[in-house]
A = this chain, B = another copy of it.
Amino acid sequence: MTLTELRYLVTLATERHFGKAAERCHVSQPTLSVAIRKLEDSLGLTLFERHRHGVLVTPAGADIIAQAKVVLQETDVLERMARHSRDEFAEPLRLGAIFTIGPFLFPALISQLRQERSPLKLYLEEDYTHVLDERLAQGELDAILVAMPFEPPETRITPLFNEPFHLLLPADHPWREQDVIRADALENHPVLMLGEGNCFRDQVLETCHLGNQGNQRTGSSLTTLRHMVASGLGMTLIPAMAVPALVNDDVVLKPLQPHPGRCVVLASRHRFPRKAALAELTRALQTLQLPGCVPAP
């Protein structure tokens, strides 16, 4: 049984004449004749009674024909679905980002896309790097925003920008008058950190040469840390893109010397097929003007 045979079947059932049905199927009469016979043989029953003046549908044939219409209907649905999916921008791209990027980059990205009337739609998620990596590999996300180092296999990395970390002090902190703080001055000071699993924590520890002292207080998000800083509990580092959202009168922002920071990249699977949609996302990300961030070369 083939879909072509079913199409012939349905046409013959409506035309009730081999010649006319063949014409409507754009094939010769013998072609249609043979196909119908073959179908009847394979099903093991007679679908049509052939008479001098047209053909008659048998009751069994009528049932089969109705079901053949259903099959053809469903293949039609399939083809329409394919036609819809052929538009790369029809479905949203699924984008993930780590907790220290998403809340600060997503708003800018979305407003950028809307302003440009971009056809790209985004489904957004925030999570830890290892979860995003896993979901990317499983095909549950199409692209993720993470910080280097990040080198899993089968993954294409597009560097987006280098982003410095800044120091956040309580408004009444003794260092509030200094223009620049030396990074190594942070040692033995109470630096509030994110919990284990946040790559930002690791980057801060590494780039500022802070040993994992164990007695550091931790917070579950940069916003939480910021509030703890404001309350005078200690100091913390925040990435540059978070500055507008986190800095207010009750905290003081200071640049660090030398510049600790991170490289933010977009990662996607090598074989991901929606190249155009991914290119549009990459372009939009590279166009973003995020505070303190320098486009990667």
> Copy number in this complex?
2
Q: Does A86 contact B (CB under 8 A)?
A: yes
A: which residues have CB within 8 A of B?
Answer: 1-3, 43-46, 49-52, 56-60, 63-64, 67-68, 70-71, 74-75, 77-79, 81-83, 85-86, 91, 94, 138-139, 153-154, 269, 271-273
Chain B residue at minimum C-beta to C-beta distance from A68: B78
B contact residues around A79 at 8 Å (CB): 1, 43
Q: Does the CB pair B139–A56 fall under 8 Å?
A: yes
Q: Does the CB pair A71–B82 fall under 8 Å?
A: no
Chain B residue at minimum C-beta to C-beta distance from A83: B44
Cα-based distance from A51 to B139 in the complex (angstroms): 11
Q: Does the CB pair A81–B64 fall under 8 Å?
A: yes
Q: Does the CB pair B78–A74 fall under 8 Å?
A: no
B contact residues around A46 at 8 Å (CB): 273
Chain B residue at minimum C-beta to C-beta distance from A43: B82
Task: Among B85, B94, B138, point to the contact of A64 (Cβ < 8 A).
Answer: B85
B contact residues around A64 at 8 Å (CB): 78, 81-82, 85
Q: Does the CB pair B49–A272 fall under 8 Å?
A: yes
B contact residues around A49 at 8 Å (CB): 139, 269, 271-273
Interface centre among A71, A83, A269 (most CB of B within 10 A): A71
B contact residues around A3 at 8 Å (CB): 1-3
Cα-based distance from A181 to B46 in the complex (angstroms): 53
Cα-based distance from A45 to B67 in the complex (angstroms): 29
Q: Does the CB pair A77–B67 fall under 8 Å?
A: yes
B contact residues around A68 at 8 Å (CB): 78
Cα-based distance from A64 to B79 in the complex (angstroms): 8
Chain B residue at minimum C-beta to C-beta distance from A71: B74
Cα-based distance from A63 to B91 in the complex (angstroms): 12
Interface centre among A44, A52, A59, A83 (most CB of B within 10 A): A59
B contact residues around A70 at 8 Å (CB): 74, 77-78
B contact residues around A272 at 8 Å (CB): 49
27 sample A-B contacts, Cβ–Cβ < 8 Å, listed by A number: A1-B3, A1-B79, A2-B3, A43-B82, A44-B83, A44-B86, A45-B82, A45-B85, A49-B139, A49-B269, A49-B271, A52-B154, A56-B139, A56-B271, A57-B139, A59-B91, A59-B139, A60-B85, A63-B81, A67-B78, A67-B81, A68-B78, A70-B74, A70-B78, A71-B74, A71-B78, A74-B74
